[in-house]
């Protein structure tokens, strides 16, 4: 490193100082999107960012998706993926695959990456320590009830295990599933788990990383500072659909439940997490209390 470069590095670190102070000791829940986490280089950068957050005193909690990875396994098994309003229709066989991919594959891969960057990540599913209690989703489409199988909503969160882990050196990494009172395992959209967890933990921030720049209008412009009424209108006219539906709902609900702010950001951008936390250059769809 030459001197000019070294001075530049020192300057950048100093600029980050107010942000480091601001977020020190604060919980930040990050939803790591299945679509944004397929690029190997971005995976490395993301893992490094999370390890750095912890190293400077924040309490990051990662909840991950795995849509593309689940889709890939189902395709290998010769099973078709079906979606209704962004939710995967989940029969018993699909649920087995979902659990295998999320808790077995994707979860351990993220843990491994964070650990290789000097973090101490612990992989969990919503089942561990009774973290996520699930309730079967009752979904309606055009006024009619639709059975989505083992698709669940979050009925309750018991944050004890997270408090134990992130109060120490550990970084919890959570696969989104839960157990119902019927004993069955439910597949829960990761956005919903991240939102409910952020609310229960009274997180400072809920960050939803995805594979788009944020919530876009019909012309492709980024929308920010959305109110609940504006979101309803955007859903009604079809601007917001599919996987963005659970995301925007939980972003709004989290701030209503006391989370400082929710932000939907582009996980395809290198260092998206640090840009949002440590600079004023963060972009995406911000939702404030
Ligand atoms: N108004 C909108 N603005 C932006 N994206 C939208 C909008 N309406 C629908 N979408 C869709 O939502 C998608 C993001 O949700 P999706 O569930 O596919 O990804 P993810 O939640 O990041 O990953 P995963 O579900 O695997 O965890 C976008 O890729 C886009 O196709
Ligand atoms: Mg999604």
Give residue 193 CA to ligand 2 midpoint distance, Å: 11
Task: Please report the pLDDT score of residue 276 as a whole number.
Answer: 94
242 within ligand 1 shell (Cβ under 6 A): yes
Q: Where are the domains of the chain?
A: 23-288
Q: Is 24 exposed, middle or buried (0-12, 13-18, 19+ CB in 10 A)?
A: exposed
Q: Which of 105, 212, 238 to mutate to test the pocket of ligand 1 (most atoms within 8 A of CB)?
A: 212
Give residue 10 CA to ligand 2 midpoint distance, Å: 38
Task: Please report the pLDDT score of residue 1 as a whole number.
Answer: 67
Distance CA 122, CA 111 (A): 6
Distance CA 107, CA 221 (A): 33
Q: What is the share, in percent, of the chain residues with pLDDT greater than 70? A: 99
Q: Which of 30, 35, 187 to mutate to test the pocket of ligand 1 (most atoms within 8 A of CB)?
A: 35
- For residue 208, which atom of ligand 1 is closest to its CA? 22
Task: Please report the pLDDT score of residue 283 as a whole number.
Answer: 85
The b/e string for 217-238 (b: 16+ C-beta within 10 A; e otherwise) is: eeeeeebeebeeeebeebeeee
285 within ligand 1 shell (Cβ under 6 A): no
Distance CA 277, CA 282 (A): 7
Task: Please report the pLDDT score of residue 142 as a whole number.
Answer: 86
- Fold designation for 23-288: Carbamate kinase (3.40.1160)
**Which pTM does this prediction carry?**
0.94
User: How would you classify the pairing of strands 215-216 and 222-223?
Assistant: antiparallel
Q: Among 27-31, 56-60, 116-120, 163-167, which is the least confidently predicted range?
A: 163-167
pLDDT confidence tier of residue 109, bands split at 50, 70 and 90: very high
Q: Is residue 219 scored above 70 in pLDDT?
A: yes
Whether residue 95 contacts residue 170, with contact meaning beta carbons closer than 8 Å, is answered with no
Convert the pLDDT of each residue in 121-159 to its tens digit.
999 999 999 999 999 999 998 899 999 999 999 999 999
pLDDT confidence tier of residue 86, bands split at 50, 70 and 90: confident
Q: Which-ligand-closest: CA of 213?
A: 1
Task: Please report the pLDDT score of residue 173 as a whole number.
Answer: 98
Q: In what order do the strands lie in the sheet with 285-288?
A: 121-125, 171-175, 59-64, 27-32, 205-210, 261-266, 285-288
Q: Is residue 282 scored above 80 in pLDDT?
A: no
Task: Please report the pLDDT score of residue 85 as a whole number.
Answer: 77
pLDDT confidence tier of residue 48, bands split at 50, 70 and 90: very high
81 within ligand 1 shell (Cβ under 6 A): no
260 within ligand 1 shell (Cβ under 6 A): no
- Return the residue whose CA atom lies nearest to atom 27 of ligand 1: 65
121 within ligand 1 shell (Cβ under 6 A): no
Task: Please report the pLDDT score of residue 107 as a whole number.
Answer: 97
Whether residue 197 contacts residue 63, with contact meaning beta carbons closer than 8 Å, is answered with yes
pLDDT confidence tier of residue 34, bands split at 50, 70 and 90: low
Give the CA distances from residue 232 to residues 200, 225, 229, 254, in Å, rounded to whole numbers and listed in that order: 25, 14, 5, 16
């Amino acid at each position: 490193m030459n001197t000019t470069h070294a001075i530049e590095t020192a300057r950048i670190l100093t600029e980050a100082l107010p942000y480091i102070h601001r977020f020190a000791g604060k919980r930040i829940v990050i939803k790591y999107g299945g679509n944004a986490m397929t690029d190997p280089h971005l995976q490395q950068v993301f893992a490094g960012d999370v390890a750095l957050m912890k190293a400077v005193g924040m309490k990051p909690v990662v909840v991950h998706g795995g849509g593309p990875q689940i889709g890939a396994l189902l395709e290998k098994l010769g099973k078709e993926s079906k979606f209704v309003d962004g939710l995967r229709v989940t029969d018993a066989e699909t649920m087995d695959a979902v659990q295998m991919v999320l808790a077995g594959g994707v979860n351990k891969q993220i843990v491994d990456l964070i650990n290789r960057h000097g973090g101490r990540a612990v992989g969990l599913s919503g089942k561990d320590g009774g973290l996520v209690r699930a309730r079967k989703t009752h979904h309606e489409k055009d006024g009619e009830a639709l059975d989505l199988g083992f698709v669940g909503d979050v009925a309750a969160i018991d944050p004890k295990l997270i408090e134990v882990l992130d109060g120490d050196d550990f970084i919890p990494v959570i696969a989104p599933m839960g157990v119902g009172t019927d004993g069955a395992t439910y597949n829960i959209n990761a956005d919903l788990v991240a939102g409910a967890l952020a609310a229960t933990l009274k997180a400072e921030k809920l960050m939803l990383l995805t594979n788009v720049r944020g919530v876009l209008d019909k012309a492709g412009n980024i929308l920010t500072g959305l109110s609940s009424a504006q979101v309803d209108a955007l859903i009604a006219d079809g601007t917001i659909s599919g996987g963005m539906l659970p995301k925007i709902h939980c972003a709004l609900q989290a701030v209503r439940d006391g989370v400082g702010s929710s932000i939907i950001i582009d996980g395809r951008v290198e260092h998206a997490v640090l840009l949002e936390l440590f600079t004023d250059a963060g972009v995406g769809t911000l939702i404030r209390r």
